[in-house]
Amino acid sequence: MIIDYVDMAVIERVLEMGGGYVLDFSNNSFQKFLWNVVNVDIYSNDYADYGSSKAKRLRCYFDKSSPKECGNVLLHLLRYKQDVMRKKPDTDFTKCTEIANKLSGRIKKGIIKNNTIIPKVLPKYDQLKESLIALTNIMNRQKRGYEFEKFLKLLLSEYNLDPRPSFVVNEIHEQIDGSFVMNGNTYLIEAKYKEKKIEYDDLLLFHNKLDERSFARGVFISYSVVSPDTIKHLLIGKKLKLIIITVAEIFHIIDNKLDLSTIINSKFRRLDEELNPFVEVMNLC
């Protein structure tokens, strides 16, 4: 058992797991939440060892997963309770946060303070700006692309968005440039650091990757601007799940010390409202 009996008792109280429930989740919303956080289908047979209720499936997940995975899921559930359910943190909540941070390896001096999960630490803006500018001095395209991926991981880490570096989905030999988690949702990344204009096929390939996944959304990060005609072509007959951010916009965000999460949320809102995946940062309200 990854989590000991006493800690599990605290977790079950905080997550309101009596009667087979987990917080206020329905079966569908619980499945979606766990898929977005850790890409796990909690309703697969892998997590039915103890029974079919939400609480029993979560207990099974905790018993079968690594400490880091358990801590990560627990932190997201605590954020959900605090930010979505608007439940005020109490002593048990603080204790549960300590358990989650210990499991995920985030325990360090001062990480729990005044009943908040993780204290807000401002990104290292100067370091990010220097790293981004340094990319322009790299002439080798392959090396520049590799360093760009490293920069994006640094950027997302500084904004506490739990990045995952590029990976390959072995079953289908599919390359993903990275991902991050925001508000309990998983976002895939496609990164193109090239001066040549972004073609329709570049965006279509990324759109198709997202379309294969039930809940994921995507952020297409490009050095060059995407033309309005390319975007218009992409919209034909498709329900887009991606937004576009340029390197120039990233520099603007860093230089003006803007909140990256707010920008991404605002861009997705404009996508949902106006069917526009590329509203420049400077034009966001």
Task: Tell me what pLDDT residue 234 has.
Answer: 83
Beta-bridge partners for 169: 174
Closest CA to 187 of 171, 158, 209: 209
Measured distance CA(242)–CA(268) in Å, rounded: 8
Tell me the whole-structure pTM to 2 decimals: 0.58
Closest CA to 85 of 153, 11, 16: 16
CA 174 to chain centre: 19
Is the pLDDT score of 237 beyond 60?
yes
Closest CA to 152 of 120, 179, 186: 179
Closest CA to 164 of 38, 253, 255: 38
Two tokens at 198? 């972004």
Task: Tell me what pLDDT residue 50 has.
Answer: 93
Measured distance CA(5)–CA(134) in Å, rounded: 51
User: What single-letter amino acid sits at 236?
Assistant: I
Beta-bridge partners for 246: 222
Q: Where are the beta strands (DSSP E) in the chain?
A: 167-169, 174-176, 179-182, 185-192, 217-222, 242-246
Mean pLDDT value of segment 142-146:
87
Is the pLDDT score of 30 beyond 60?
yes
The pLDDT tens digits for 145-202 are 889 989 999 999 988 898 988 888 866 678 888 999 887 788 999 998 877 778 888 8
The pLDDT tens digits for 31-88 are 999 998 788 899 999 999 999 999 999 999 999 998 888 988 998 899 889 888 888 8
Task: Tell me what pLDDT residue 105 has.
Answer: 72
The pLDDT tens digits for 199-217 are 888 888 898 888 888 778 9
Task: Tell me what pLDDT residue 121 has.
Answer: 62
Beta-bridge partners for 192: 222
Task: Tell me what pLDDT residue 285 has.
Answer: 56
